[in-house]
Amino acid sequence: MLNVIKIGGNILDNEEAFSRFLEAFSKLEGEKILVHGGGKIATEIGHKLDVEANYINGRRVTGDDTLKLVTMVYAGLINKNIVAQLQSFNCNALGLTGADGNAIIAKKRPVGDVDYGFVGDVVAVNGLLLKQLLDAEITPVLAPITHDAKGGLLNTNADTIAQEVAKAMSQYIEVSLVYGFEKDGVLKDANVDSSVIPVIEVNDFDQLVADGVISGGMIPKLQNACSAIRAGVKQVIIGNALQLNNIINGEKGTIIK
């Protein structure tokens, strides 16, 4: 089983917690791929560089300056520090953007009501490259930057990258797609941390939404999870990144299958 693990949310901003996550990740047996998001540091550094974050519908609008900023911070600062830390934990990590080895091609999002700028929607994942790296006992670490194959880099949502990578790898091996964040899983009641729903069957999803058991921001996340499973991914796990072993073992978190 290949674990494709996406790490995001506040944990990236907490150096000590993040290091604990990386140590746990490095100790996971079997093949694994890490996908990371950005964190607050891009906003902080952008502030110093007079590149202000601009969000529309929860997505960062990526102008020329913002593209440079996220390329520096995501592909440089964050990615390389993750890789160096994993190496210190004896995990042979190798950092990639979508441009590296043509790992992920994307298409600039068409301008509709909103122009998101240099934001890319994934077109193709080079599963063969990732497989070759895994076969060589290398652990790919993906930054949320893709390329358009015409020389341009594109800012791309890390959740989507994880999902597309998981789908692409499913043709080679059984894949478990893991979303690690600061909550304990999908909650029945967003205000009650202990209200984790342990298992969601894809076929029950629509009914759970209709019944109001699943609501709010979790709906699109779970729709993506269901679509990944329909595309061949074995299971999707959503849970606390600091309980990595427990959520992968199925002891904690929410499993969608």
Contact residues: a copy of itself, CB under 8 A: 45, 48-50, 68, 71-77, 79-81, 83-85, 87-88, 92-97, 99-102, 129, 132, 136, 138, 145, 147, 149-153
- Taking the least distance from each CB to a copy of itself, the nearer of 99 and 225 is 99
Between 18 and 179, whose beta carbon lies closer to a copy of itself?
Answer: 18
Smallest separation, CB 169 to a copy of itself (Å): 17
> With respect to a copy of itself, which residue has the nearer C-beta, 60 or 252?
60
Between residues 149 and 213, which has the closer beta carbon with respect to a copy of itself?
149
Strands 32-36 and 2-7: parallel
Whole-number minimum distance, CB 69 to a copy of itself, in Å? 9
Supply angle C-alpha 88, 146, 231, rounded to 5.
95
- Residues forming a β-bridge with 105: 124, 147
How many CA within 13 A on the CB side of residue 4?
29
C-alpha 143, offset from chain centre: 9
Residue closest to 165 by CA, chosen among 153, 186, 179: 179
Q: Which is nearer to a copy of itself, 75 or 214 (CB)?
A: 75
CB of 201 to a copy of itself, least distance (A): 40
Residue type, 44: E
Amino acid making up residue 53: A
Q: What is the dihedral of CA 151, 128, 107, 48, to 10 degrees?
A: -60
Name the residue nearer to a copy of itself (CB basis): 83 or 187. 83
**Minimum distance between the CB of residue 15 and a copy of itself, rounded to whole angstroms?**
12
Tokens 């996406």 found at: 6
**Min dist. Cβ of residue 228 to a copy of itself (A):** 26
Pair of tokens at residue 158: 């890390």
What is the nearest approach in angstroms of a copy of itself to the Cβ of residue 234? 27
| Angle value at C-alpha 179, between 203 and 144, nearest 5 degrees | 120
